[in-house]
Amino acid sequence: MGVYRIKGWNEYQKLAKTFKPNVIFYSRDPHPLRKPPYGLKLIFYHQLDSYIFQDYANGATLVKTKIPIRGQDTSDVPILHDDIVNCIHTLIGKVHVSPIHAFWSL
């Protein structure tokens, strides 16, 4: 049982394509040291292992995935679900994509 923090986007894509997870979960997080102050965490599980990738904003996009930042509303992280899904489907393949908070509210 391991937790693997994957630093490179290409490596994360390769692992996801190899392990073919049923779901990739995401969390849109504040990242106060970036401008704008937003970040994204992607997580998938394979057997008992967790694979975590983190991205952060720089200007109008996230640095590694190039997912756009839509506006600068400080009440919520302006990284849209549809943009995350489109990125994952385009670069990794058709896999279910879900925000983490949906499962915490059960």
Domain of 81 in residue numbering reads as 3-104
Answer whether residue 90 shows pLDDT above 70.
Answer: yes
Q: What is the CATH number of the domain that holds 87?
A: 3.30.720.90
The total number of structural domains that make up the chain: 1
Answer whether residue 47 shows pLDDT above 60.
Answer: yes
CA atoms within 13 A on the CB side of 22: 1
pTM: 0.88
pLDDT of residue 106: 44
58, 70 Cβ separation under 8 angstroms: no
Most confident of 49-53, 73-77, 79-83, 101-105: 49-53
Q: Residue 44, Cβ neighbours under 10 Å: how many?
A: 23
Which of 93, 105, 80, 91 lies closest to 22 in space, CA to CA? 93
pLDDT of residue 105: 46
